[in-house]
């Protein structure tokens, strides 16, 4: 934030409206000194209009002791003169009209009256005979001078100079690879990329899904929708990486086998497009445009095992926690719901937490891998904040203003950091240190807003898909070779996963 | 408050609901459009949302006066419109105009039985409108210069102007673009919301 204060200071300096610090005092100032500190500066110094921030509300005000303030407005700015310093409270047009209005002419013919009435209604927007407009005088003081509309800061964001802080590791500012993603749908609410544990990156381009093998660089077209108007709205890999769940705009949730490149199941239970999917071992959760979330047990024929109704608008963010205890969902209704994995007493699913603080759609939802019950959420254009929550207590642990639409958040498994993807104006990825919430790095390169982020299975690379029809792979969490060896030793101690076969 | 749920909507209750909506709605507009610094706002829970209201005592007092007056006028069904005018301080040009049209069912008087509409349904409708107001920041043009706001109330012609209020013109925007937002109704009062903004002059 410091650079914005700096910018404000710079503007203040360049405006040249503060008095010259070392000049000899003007005549009126000398007079003021002579006449003593009694009368307020407003009365005695006619060249200065009233400090707008303090006296515009009440006429004529004394501003006791305010003359010491640093901020003083110039004479010429307010459009006033030395007799009437502040004209903003007057209505010049109204006054002029009333003064110059002729006395009412003789009775006009009824048709003329009708015509006049019609004109009056058109011009005023209402019938002058029927209503009048009132305005409460005594308007409260305006924002203090030097206050810059914070939206201006948002829209005029410039590239900030590189931080002088020394990063403990080198993060390359250029992506490792750039892949072409033609026809990718520029829709904030969809989730079109996912990276499997078998190192396949699935990308949904309009009505087809392509798999890119990171190791070999090979590209396979897995599927294409039969109907031309139907498009893919979400993709999600099962943990083992052999099955891919696909959500479509025709409200279907399909399950595809990668080895055989065959569709195993087509589960229909929603009535609107399925924008988001999340796996919890054999349970697949899907969020739809209606705001409903369905749980599907993919092993059984009657797949639709539960419905969670907690959103009134499209569900765009959905994530099961890593231990499978909670499901976090974010919607276009600005709500974040945290659902338990089992039903409550009444047989209905009710959220254990609902967070309403976001002022925009919540698509970015991510669970912290090293701290239990910590959830990060990011808001859309109207909100632009990233919030960290403890879902047990419901407390918001920290908030940071990211100044840009947040589309996705990913926690790193290698470092105590998380990365967020953004839109206008810089379309950048930002790496944040947790829990200090300081920026570690900003990765720029996309020329249009980022839509989705996904992480490689080894946790070193982040892939970002953006509206500029490219996928960029950023090697931002590269492990130190020494630390890597330690981690590998720790991992090999764990037992291998038993692959479940899914019907 | 609990009793209200069962009682249905009375004229007095409806006036209070609508006046309350205006209070929170105006606060939201002032926060979202950046008329006042965001640090001077605090969060409160209302309508199942987190809303921002001002902590500035003078401004809060000013808005309170308006809300109280509105309550009275809504009860008497003599107010037709509430307008929030946002104009540039330097040029006095009107840049944005939020218009809340009020349609009042004049047949409703307190002695009639209360109307059937659940508080929850009204709350949901109000929530949608306030969320829409928040979302307008995505398309409304940026307010470049420092701005001030004005509140105009359109009342019946024969109303006696109370102290502190003065007559005013409509303060329209020249060359404006209008967007209509959702409306809500308590069955006694119906509020339609529109926002008009200055069309960017093509260079």
Instruction: Provide, as residue numbers in chain B, all residues whose Cβ is less than 8 Å from the Cβ of A51.
Output: none
Checking if the pLDDT of A55 tops 50, the result is no
Q: Is the residue at B180 inside a domain? A: yes
Which residue segment(s) compose the domain that B171 sits in? Answer: 8-198
Checking if the pLDDT of A159 tops 60, the result is no
Instruction: Provide, as residue numbers in chain A, all residues whose Cβ is less than 8 Å from the Cβ of B143.
Output: 149, 151-152
> Which residue of A12, A359, A360, A379 is the best one to mutate when testing the B interface, meaning the one whose CB has the most B CBs within 10 A?
A359
What are residue A153's DSSP bridge partners? none
Measure the N-to-C terminal CA separation of chain A; round to a whole number of Å: 54
**Long-range contacts for A265-272 (Cβ within 8 Å, ≥24 apart)?**
A265/A298, A265/A303, A267/A296, A267/A298, A267/A303, A267/A304, A269/A294, A269/A296, A269/A303, A269/A304, A270/A294
Section B115-127 average pLDDT = 85
How far from B31 is each of A126, A324, A382, A383, CA to CA, in Å? 29, 39, 11, 12
Residue that the structure tokens 């200055």 belong to: B198
Q: Is the residue at B79 inside a domain? A: yes
From B20's Cα to the closest Cα of chain A, the distance in A is 18
Q: Is the residue at B203 inside a domain? A: no
Section B10-24 average pLDDT = 89
Among A52, A130, A135, whose Cβ lies nearest the Cβ of B165?
A: A135
Q: Is the residue at B136 inside a domain? A: yes
Task: Looking at mean pLDDT, say which of A38-47, A62-71, A96-105 comes out highest.
Answer: A96-105
Q: Which residues contact A384 (CB under 8 A, 6 or more apart)?
A: A154, A360, A401, A402, A403, A404, A405, A406
Checking if the pLDDT of A334 tops 70, the result is yes
The domain tally of chain B equals 1
Query: What pLDDT is attached to residue A27?
Result: 78
Instruction: Provide, as residue numbers in chain B, all residues whose Cβ is less than 8 Å from the Cβ of A8.
Output: none
C-beta atoms of B166 and A137 within 8 A? yes
Checking if the pLDDT of A94 tops 80, the result is no
Check which CATH number belongs to the domain holding B56 and give it.
Answer: 3.30.900.10
Section A353-357 average pLDDT = 94
Q: Is the residue at B46 inside a domain? A: yes
A99: confidence class by pLDDT, cuts 50, 70, 90: confident
Higher pLDDT pick, B55 / A39: B55
- Within an 8 Å CB–CB cutoff, is residue A399 touching chain B? no
Query: What pLDDT is attached to residue A428?
Result: 94
A31: confidence class by pLDDT, cuts 50, 70, 90: confident
Assembly ipTM: 0.72
How far from A168 is each of A59, A243, B111, B142, CA to CA, in Å? 60, 38, 75, 39
pLDDT tens by residue, A413-465: 989 999 999 998 899 999 999 999 999 999 999 999 999 999 999 999 999 99
Query: What pLDDT is attached to residue B136?
Result: 83
Instruction: Provide, as residue numbers in chain B, all residues whose Cβ is less than 8 Å from the Cβ of A138.
Output: 62, 164
A79: confidence class by pLDDT, cuts 50, 70, 90: low
Tokens representing A354?
């609902």
Q: Is the residue at B78 inside a domain? A: yes
A122: confidence class by pLDDT, cuts 50, 70, 90: low
Among A141, A155, A360, whose Cβ lies nearest the Cβ of B142?
A: A155
């Amino acid at each position: 934030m410091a650079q914005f204060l700096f910018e404000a200071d710079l503007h203040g300096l360049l405006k040249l409206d503060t008095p010259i610090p070392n000049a000899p005092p003007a005549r009126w100032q000398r007079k003021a000194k002579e006449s003593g500190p009694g009368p307020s500066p407003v009365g005695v110094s006619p060249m200065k209009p009233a400090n707008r921030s303090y006296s515009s509300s009440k006429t004529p005000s004394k501003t006791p002791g305010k003359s010491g303030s640093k901020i003083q407005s110039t004479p010429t700015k307010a459009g006033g003169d030395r007799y009437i310093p502040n004209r903003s409270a007057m209505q010049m047009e109204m006054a002029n009209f009333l003064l110059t209005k002729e006395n009412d002419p003789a009775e006009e013919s009824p048709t003329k009256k009708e015509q006049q009435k019609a004109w009056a209604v058109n011009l005023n927007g209402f019938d002058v005979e029927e209503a009048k407009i009132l305005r409460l005088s005594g308007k409260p003081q305006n924002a203090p001078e030097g206050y810059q509309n914070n939206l201006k800061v948002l829209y005029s964001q410039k590239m900030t100079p590189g931080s002088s802080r020394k990063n403990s590791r080198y993060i390359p500012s250029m992506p490792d690879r750039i892949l072409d993603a033609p026809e990718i749908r520029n829709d904030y609410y969809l989730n079109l990329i996912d990276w499997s544990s078998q190192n396949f990156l699935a990308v949904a381009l309009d009505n087809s899904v392509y798999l890119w093998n990171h190791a070999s660089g090979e590209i396979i077209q897995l599927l294409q929708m039969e109907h031309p108007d139907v498009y893919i709205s979400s993709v999600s890999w099962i943990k083992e990486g052999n099955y891919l769940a696909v959500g479509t705009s025709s409200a279907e949730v399909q399950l595809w086998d990668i080895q055989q490149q065959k569709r195993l199941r087509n589960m229909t239970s929603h009535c609107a497009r399925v924008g988001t999917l999340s796996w919890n071992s054999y349970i697949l959760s899907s969020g739809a445009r209606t705001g409903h979330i369905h749980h599907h047990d993919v092993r059984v024929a009657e797949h639709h095992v539960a419905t969670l109704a907690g959103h009134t608008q499209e569900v765009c963010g959905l994530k099961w926690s890593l231990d499978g205890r909670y499901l976090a969902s974010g919607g276009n209704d600005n709500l974040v719901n945290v659902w338990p994995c089992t039903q409550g007493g009444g047989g209905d699913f009710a959220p254990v937490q609902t967070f309403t603080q976001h002022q925009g759609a919540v698509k970015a939802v991510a669970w912290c891998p090293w701290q239990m019950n910590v959830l990060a959420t990011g808001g859309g254009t109207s909100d632009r904040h990233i919030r960290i929550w403890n879902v047990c207590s419901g407390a918001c642990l920290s908030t940071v203003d990211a100044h840009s639409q947040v589309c996705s958040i990913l926690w790193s498994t290698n470092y105590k950091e998380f990365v967020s993807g953004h839109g206008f104006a810089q379309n950048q990825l930002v790496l944040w240190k947790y829990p200090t919430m300081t920026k570690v790095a900003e990765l720029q390169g996309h020329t249009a807003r980022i839509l989705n982020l996904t992480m490689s299975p080894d946790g070193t690379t982040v892939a970002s898909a953006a509206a500029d029809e490219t996928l960029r792979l950023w090697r931002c969490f590269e492990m130190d070779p020494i630390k890597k060896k330690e981690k590998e030793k720790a991992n090999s101690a764990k037992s291998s996963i038993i692959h479940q076969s899914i019907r | 408050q609990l009793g209200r749920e069962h009682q249905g909507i009375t004229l007095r209750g409806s006036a209070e609901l609508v006046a309350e909506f205006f209070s929170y709605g105006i606060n939201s507009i002032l926060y979202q459009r950046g008329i006042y610094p965001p640090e001077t706002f605090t969060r409160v829970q209302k309508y199942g949302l987190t809303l921002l209201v001002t902590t500035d005592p003078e401004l809060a007092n000013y808005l309170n006066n308006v809300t109280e007056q509105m309550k009275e006028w809504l009860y008497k069904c003599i107010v037709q419109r509430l307008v929030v005018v946002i104009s540039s301080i330097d040029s006095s040009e009107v840049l944005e105009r939020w218009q809340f049209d009020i349609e009042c069912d004049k047949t409703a008087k307190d002695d009639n039985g209360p109307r059937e509409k659940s508080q929850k349904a009204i709350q949901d409708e109000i929530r949608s409108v306030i969320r829409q107001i928040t979302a307008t920041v995505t398309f409304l043009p940026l307010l470049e210069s420092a701005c001030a706001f004005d509140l105009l109330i359109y009342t019946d012609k024969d109303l006696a102007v109370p102290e502190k209020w003065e007559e005013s013109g409509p303060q329209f925007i020249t060359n404006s673009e209008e967007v209509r937002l959702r409306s809500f109704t308590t069955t006694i009062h119906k509020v339609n919301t529109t926002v008009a903004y200055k069309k960017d002059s093509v260079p």
